[in-house]
C-alpha cells in the first residue's frame, strides 16, 4: 500500500582506538600532563573522562554499542608495569561490546595477549589470522561474533595488520592474511546466517580500510585504528570526513590516546541498508568532567610508578617534535635526538650510522624539565641498543624499506644519524625511491660505497627484522643486548645541559 515504509533501526556506535595505556590525561603533545595543568583544563583524555563521556553518550541513545579498534597495549609505564591487566579492568568498567586485536597486543607474545583475553568480559576478534597452530589463542579469539541489539542481529568482524609479524612478536604459530579476503569470507558466512548489518573493527589503517571497503560487499561500517587518523567534519586537522564513505560503507576513526570518543549514529532500513550515518568524534578536553571513582583508581594504580617517572633526568630548551604525522614522513626533531643519542653511545666502538624506526617514537616532549616518565612515553618498548655490520648496499636496501610505506604513514620510516639520504616519492615503492645516500666522514659527507662494510646501531627490534628490516637479520657481528634505549636517551640529554632540538637536512625529498 502507498505510504508503507520499511522499519527503521537506529544504533549509536561509540568507539576508541590506539589508546596505548594513556589511563591518565595527556598533554597536547600526547605525553604526560601534570595535575596542575589538568586542573587548569590543559589536558585531554584519560580513563576518568572517557567513563563520563561514554555514560553521557549512552544516555543520548537508547541503542548503543562501544567498540575498540585495537592497540590498548603499550605506551606508558602503566603497560610496562601491569601489562594488559589495567586495560582489561578499565575496559570492563566502561562496558565494551567488542574489540579487535591491534599489532601491539602481540608485543609481549601470545602469552600476555591470552591473559588479557581471559580478563575481559567481551569478545576479542581477528578474522585475518590463522591461529589454529597457537594453542594459547586458538580457542579464545574469534573471527567474528553476532550480537543482538534492540532485537536486531549485528555482525562484528575483527581485523589486524597483515604485517603484524613484522610489527610485533606474535610468534611463529600465527599466520596473517589478506584483510579484504578475510572480511569477505566472514561477511558471506554472517549473511548466510541472516545477519544484514555488519561492522568491521579494523586495526589496519585508514588507507587499508578504504581498500577493504572498495574490495568487499556487505560491510556497512568500518571502525578503524592503527594509523591514528582523525576523521572529522569540524576539525581543520582532520584527514577526512566523519564518516568517510566508500561506496555504501561508512569508515570512522578517532585519532588515538583517548583524546576523542567517536560517536557515529547510523540509521538502517529493515534490509540492512544504511539510510544515514552521521556523527563526530567528541574531544575529551577539560570540559569533560572526570569520573571520581575512576580517577581515584588510576591514581592508586599509579603509585608504584611514581618514583620512576617523576625523576627529572634532563632539560629541554624547547618543545621536541615527535608527532607520528611528522616523524613517519620526514626528518623530525625527536628522530634526530634519538638517532644522535644512539650513535653517540657507540661512536667509540667505530659505529658510523644510526637508524631509528619512527614507529618507535611515540610522543613529543615539551620544554623545560624532562622526567623519566616523559622519556618512557617517547620510548615505551624497552628496546635495547643493537649494533652490527652490513654492506653499503644493505644500508641502501634498508632505506628503501624505510620509504616504502610513507603514503601509509608507516612506522618503518627511518630517522638517521651519521648519514644523509634523499628519496623520490614519484618512484614506486621498492623500485628505487632512494636516489642518494651520503655517509659522514672527516667532518663532511661522502657517497656510500655499496661494497664497503659499515657499522650500524639501531634497536634490537629493528635489528631482528622488525618494521620490514629483514636485511638486518643477516648482519655481521650482531649484538642486541646493549643498554635500554630509554636509558641511552635520558643520559644523552643530561649530557647536553639544556637540549636544543634541531633539524639539519639529513633527510630530503627529490
406-415 pLDDT tens trace: 999 999 999 9
Cα–Cα distance list, 370 to 137, 202, 377 (Å): 40, 35, 11
pLDDT at 317: 98
Q: Which residue has the cell 589508546?
A: 19
pLDDT at 3: 38
What is the layout of strands, in order, in the sheet containing 312-316?
Answer: 368-371, 312-316, 498-499
Q: Which residue has the cell 639544556?
A: 498
pLDDT at 382: 80
Q: What is the pLDDT along the chain (510 residues), one digit of tens a residue?
A: 333 455 789 999 999 999 999 999 998 878 788 899 999 999 999 999 999 999 999 999 999 999 999 999 988 889 989 999 999 999 999 999 999 999 999 999 999 999 999 999 999 999 999 999 999 999 999 999 999 998 999 999 999 999 999 888 899 999 999 999 999 999 999 999 999 999 999 999 999 999 999 999 999 999 999 999 999 999 999 999 999 999 999 999 999 999 999 999 999 998 999 999 999 999 999 999 999 999 999 999 999 998 888 999 999 999 999 999 999 999 999 999 999 999 999 999 999 999 999 999 999 999 999 999 999 999 988 888 999 999 999 999 999 999 999 999 999 999 999 999 999 999 999 999 999 999 999 999 999 999 999 999 999 999 999 999 999 999 999 998 888 899 899 999 999 999 999 999 999 999
Q: Where does 280-398 show beta strands of DSSP type E? A: 282-283, 312-316, 353-357, 368-371, 385-391
Phi-psi region of 20 (alpha: psi -120 to 50; beta: other; left: phi over 0): left
3-state secondary structure of 10: strand
Contacting residues for 1 by C-beta, under 8 A, at least 6 apart: none
Question: Using CA atoms, how far apart are residues 144 and 195, in angstroms rounded to an integer?
Answer: 12
Q: Which of 186, 183, 254, 239 is nearest to 215 (CA)?
A: 183
Question: Using CA atoms, how far apart are residues 92 and 355, in angstroms rounded to an integer?
Answer: 40
Cα–Cα distance list, 2 to 270, 311, 339 (Å): 17, 73, 71
Q: Which residue has the cell 616519492?
A: 425
**pLDDT tens readout for residues 14-47:** 999 999 999 999 988 787 888 999 999 999 999 9
Question: Using CA atoms, how far apart are residues 224 and 183, in angstroms rounded to an integer?
Answer: 14
Q: Which of 499, 465, 472 is nearest to 344 (CA)?
A: 499
Question: Using CA atoms, how far apart are residues 346 and 462, in angstroms rounded to an integer?
Answer: 17
Cα–Cα distance list, 396 to 9, 230, 432 (Å): 55, 33, 10
pLDDT at 485: 95
Question: Using CA atoms, how far apart are residues 106 and 114, in angstroms rounded to an integer?
Answer: 10
Residue 240: count other Cβ atoms within 10 Å of its Cβ. 17
Spell out the alpha helix ranges (H) of 193-277. 206-215
Q: What is the signed CA dihedral for 99, 100, 102, 107, rounded to 10 degrees? A: 70
Cα–Cα distance list, 425 to 240, 329, 467 (Å): 22, 11, 19
The residues that bridge with 365 in the sheet, in sequence order, are 320
Element (H, E) at 339: helix 333-346
Cα–Cα distance list, 81 to 297, 381, 482 (Å): 15, 12, 22
Q: Which residue has the cell 567534519?
A: 233
Question: Using CA atoms, how far apart are residues 431 and 352, in angstroms rounded to an integer?
Answer: 26
Q: Which residue has the cell 636516489?
A: 435
pLDDT at 6: 56
Peptide bond connecting 407 to the previous residue in cis, omega within 30 degrees of 0: no
Q: Give the domains, in start order, of the chain with CATH numbers.
A: 8-302 (3.60.21.10), 312-509 (3.90.780.10)
Q: Give the torsion sign (CA, 490, 494, 497, 503).
A: negative
* Contact between 65 and 95 (Cβ < 8 Å): no
Element (H, E) at 152: strand 152-159
Cα–Cα distance list, 427 to 211, 422, 424 (Å): 21, 12, 6
First to last CA, the chain: 66
The size of the chain, in residues, is 510
Maximum distance among all Cα pairs of the chain, rounded to whole angstroms: 88
Report pTM.
0.83
* Contact between 316 and 493 (Cβ < 8 Å): yes
Amino acid at each position: 500500500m502507498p505510504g508503507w515504509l520499511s522499519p527503521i533501526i537506529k544504533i549509536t556506535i561509540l568507539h576508541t582506538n590506539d589508546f596505548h595505556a594513556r589511563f591518565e590525561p595527556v598533554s597536547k603533545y600526547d605525553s604526560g600532563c601534570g595535575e596542575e595543568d589538568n586542573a587548569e583544563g590543559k589536558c585531554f583524555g584519560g580513563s576518568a573522562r572517557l567513563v563520563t563521556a561514554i555514560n553521557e553518550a549512552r544516555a543520548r541513545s537508547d541503542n548503543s554499542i562501544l567498540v575498540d579498534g585495537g592497540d590498548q597495549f603499550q605506551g606508558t609505564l602503566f603497560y610496562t608495569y601491569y601489562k594488559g591487566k589495567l586495560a582489561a579492568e578499565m575496559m570492563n568498567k566502561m562496558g565494551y561490546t567488542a574489540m579487535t586485536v591491534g599489532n601491539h597486543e602481540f608485543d609481549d607474545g601470545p602469552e600476555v595477549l591470552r591473559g588479557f583475553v581471559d580478563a575481559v568480559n567481551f569478545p576479542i576478534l581477528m578474522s585475518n589470522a590463522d591461529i589454529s597452530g597457537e594453542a594459547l589463542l586458538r580457542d579464545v579469539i574469534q573471527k567474528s561474533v553476532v550480537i543482538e541489539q534492540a532485537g536486531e542481529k549485528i555482525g562484528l568482524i575483527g581485523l589486524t595488520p597483515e604485517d603484524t609479524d613484522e610489527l610485533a612478536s606474535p610468534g611463529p604459530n600465527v599466520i596473517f592474511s589478506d584483510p579484504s579476503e578475510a572480511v569477505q569470507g566472514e561477511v558471506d558466512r554472517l549473511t548466510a546466517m541472516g545477519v544484514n548489518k555488519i561492522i568491521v573493527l579494523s586495526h589496519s589503517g585508514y588507507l587499508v580500510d578504504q581498500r577493504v571497503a572498495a574490495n568487499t560487499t556487505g560491510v556497512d561500517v568500518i571502525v578503524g585504528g592503527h594509523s591514528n587518523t582523525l576523521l572529522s567534519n569540524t576539525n581543520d586537522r582532520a584527514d577526512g570526513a566523519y564518516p568517510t564513505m566508500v561506496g555504501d560503507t561508512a569508515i570512522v576513526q578517532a585519532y588515538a590516546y583517548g583524546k576523542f570518543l567517536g560517536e557515529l549514529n547510523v540509521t538502517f532500513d529493515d534490509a540492512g541498508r544504511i539510510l544515514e550515518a552521521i556523527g563526530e568524534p567528541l574531544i575529551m578536553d577539560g570540559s569533560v568532567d572526570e569520573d571520581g571513582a575512576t580517577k581515584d583508581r588510576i591514581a592508586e594504580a599509579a603509585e608504584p610508578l611514581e618514583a620512576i617517572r617523576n625523576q627529572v633526568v634532563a632539560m629541554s630548551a624547547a618543545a621536541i617534535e615527535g608527532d607520528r604525522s611528522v616523524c613517519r614522513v620526514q626528518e623530525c626533531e625527536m628522530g634526530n635526538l634519538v638517532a644522535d643519542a644512539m650513535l653517540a653511545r657507540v661512536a667509540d666502538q667505530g659505529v658510523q650510522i644510526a637508524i631509528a624506526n619512527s614507529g618507535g617514537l611515540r610522543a613529543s616532549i615539551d620544554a623545560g624539565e624532562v622526567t623519566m616518565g616523559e622519556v618512557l612515553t617517547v620510548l615505551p618498548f624497552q628496546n635495547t641498543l643493537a649494533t652490527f655490520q652490513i654492506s653499503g648496499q644493505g644500508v641502501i636496501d634498508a632505506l628503501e624499506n624505510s620509504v616504502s610505506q610513507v603514503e601509509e604513514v608507516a612506522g618503518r620510516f627511518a630517522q638517521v644519524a651519521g648519514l644523509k639520504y634523499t628519496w623520490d616519492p614519484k618512484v614506486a615503492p621498492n623500485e628505487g625511491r632512494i636516489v642518494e645516500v651520503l655517509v659522514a666522514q672527516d667532518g663532511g659527507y661522502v657517497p656510500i660505497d655499496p661494497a664497503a662494510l659499515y657499522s650500524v646501531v639501531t634497536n634490537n627490534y629493528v635489528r631482528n627484522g622488525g618494521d620490514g628490516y629483514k636485511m638486518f637479520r643477516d648482519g655481521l657481528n650482531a649484538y642486541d643486548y646493549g643498554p635500554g634505549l630509554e636509558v641511552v636517551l635520558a643520559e644523552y640529554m643530561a649530557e647536553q645541559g639544556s637540549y636544543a632540538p634541531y633539524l639539519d637536512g639529513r633527510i630530503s625529498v627529490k
